[in-house]
Amino acid sequence: MINVIVTYTVKPEFVSENKSNVQKFLNDFKNLDQTKFEYNVFVKEDGVTFVHFSNYENEKVQNMVLNIPSFKEFQRVRDESGLNDSHQVEFLKSVGVE
């Protein structure tokens, strides 16, 4: 299982567009086999910091999910909005599970 947390902060004027773009790719993810991965997006109390938590059965599933066109477009637009080096990707390892 691959577990990932991605955190980034957007400019206040980009929050609404980012939420809309997130919803687009989440809608497209519904057409995939949801038993192979989980993808959730949250916004922190500051209203501008987004947290994406995902887990994938394996690397093949992760690559399939992350190459959905609406997800790639979300990433492009988000990155072009100016993240001020706030983008952070963390891989998590399960504890107590072999």
| Amino acid identity for residue 6 in this structure | V
The architecture in CATH of the region 2-92 reads 2-Layer Sandwich (3.30)
**Cβ–Cβ < 8 Å for 87, 5:** no
| Amino acid identity for residue 49 in this structure | T
- Residue 96's pLDDT is what? 77
Per-residue model confidence as pLDDT tens digits over 53-85: 999 999 999 999 999 999 999 999 999 998 888
Domain ranges of the chain: 2-92
Per-residue model confidence as pLDDT tens digits over 27-62: 999 999 999 999 999 999 999 999 999 999 999 999
Helix, coil or strand: residue 75: helix
